[in-house]
Amino acid sequence: MTELFSYITLQQYWWMIVTLLGALLVFLFFVQGGQTFILTLGKTEREKSMIVNSMGRKWEFTFTTLVTFGGAFFASFPLFYSTSFGGAYWVWMAILFSFIIQAVSYEFRSKPKNFLGQKTYDVFLLINGLLGPLLIGVAVGTFFTGSAFSVEKANIANITGNQIISAWEHPAHGLEAVLNLQNVLLGLAIMFLARVLGLLYMMNNIDSKEMIKRAKRQLIINTIPFLVSFLSFVIWTFLSDGFAVNPITQEVYMEPFKYFNNFIAMPILLIMFLLGVVGVLWGIGISILKTTTKGIWFAGLGTILTVWSLLMSVGFNNTAYYPSTFNLQSSLTITNSSSSLYTLTVMSFVSLFIPIVIGYIWYAWKSINNKRIDDDEMNEETHIY
């Protein structure tokens, strides 16, 4: 069975799957983005409840995708999982905490006699909406800027001494990533993109002319910092040296304009990236200039294409997707950090069921969105967050 596919083909296949899940996750951050407007877009308690219920019907999709993304990364590239999650644990713990308070908030916000009160849970949702996308963006930024860790695979055979394969070499254990402006720019770009997508989704999902008018004003306000942070990150990244890998010796070295060169060397990714950017801008533009509420679908597909192409570019074309600034030769690539040939092969057969899962998600999504949320629905006693 393991001879059906070459090892490198399976490694590339699973890098495509994992990065696609990451792109879908960024799109689904519209839930987090929408949560950040509970205290500003909603002028009355009824309007706040409409926002919470609009986002609440989709928060489990985001959480499930996050867990699936982490699980797929662990199964296909376990050395990344052990290095990053085992070393940069403070930043991942902060991300996990922000999603825990989100789940708790949706569960207990409207429960009678909850001792924290509804406003407290609204603040929790605001924290998750800002902190979750920001920190994940900062963490992903290290794919381009590097982290301080070391890897010594030979230790696994040391039965009498140190058997630790990877070690984090910075005392902040991941939090140091927020001190890198390039990482922060990506974090801000994802945070403001989540807010933009959240506004577009609410314009499509909430039946309230007044709230749509307010959403349009907020859309203009949030698009500006999104474009500034995103373009700043992309230009900085394209002009910076990148972490290249010699295909023969597997030696990692710094290459000028590496990530820009990757897009030139892989025109399909360049086309995806440009189409994605146009899709996001088109979705925003028609939502501001026209009366349509369909902007979320153009911007959503554009988000997936843009993020997917960016993430794939750091793993392909002889690139270290998780570079080490402590020791270049400890950098992780899709070839030196993946699971075994047998494991990847078995996982690939399981992945054939993905279209069925996607079909179910689409059916569930359509069923949930059969009717736009309006004021009358908030009078119902069932399924109110």
Ordered DSSP codes for 52-112:
HHHHHTTHHHHHHHHHHHHHHHHHH-HHHIIIIIHHSHHHHHHHHHHHHHHHHHHHHTTST
At residue 159, the pLDDT reads 58
Say if CB 151 and CB 324 are below 8 A apart. yes
At residue 379, the pLDDT reads 64
What letter would DSSP give residue 336?
Answer: T
At residue 1, the pLDDT reads 45
The number of beta carbons lying within 10 Å of the beta carbon of residue 47 is 19
At residue 375, the pLDDT reads 67
Supply φ then ψ for residue 59, to 5 degrees.
-65, -30
At residue 155, the pLDDT reads 61
Comparing CA positions, the residue from 78, 64, 81, 80 lying closest to residue 21 is 64
Distance between CA atoms of 191 and 174, rounded to whole angstroms?
Answer: 19
DSSP 3-state of 253: strand
The number of beta carbons lying within 10 Å of the beta carbon of residue 165 is 16
Question: Helices 267-289 & 295-313, crossing angle to 10 degrees?
Answer: 150
Q: What is the pTM of this model?
A: 0.92
Say if CB 223 and CB 200 are below 8 A apart. no
pLDDT digit string (tens) for the chain, length 385 residues: 445 578 999 999 999 999 999 999 999 999 999 999 988 888 888 888 888 888 888 888 888 888 888 888 888 999 998 898 888 889 999 999 999 999 888 888 777 777 777 788 888 999 999 999 999 999 999 999 999 999 887 666 555 556 678 889 999 988 899 999 999 999 999 999 999 999 999 998 888 888 888 999 999 999 999 999 999 999 999 999 999 999 999 999 999 999 999 999 999 999 999 999 999 999 999 999 887 888 999 999 999 999 999 999 999 999 999 999 999 999 999 999 999 898 898 888 888 877 887 787 788 777 777 777 766 666 665 556 6
Outline where DSSP puts E strands in the chain: 149-151, 166-168, 242-245, 252-255
Distance between CA atoms of 301 and 276, rounded to whole angstroms?
Answer: 7
At residue 207, the pLDDT reads 81
One-letter amino acid identity for 32?
A: Q
At residue 2, the pLDDT reads 45
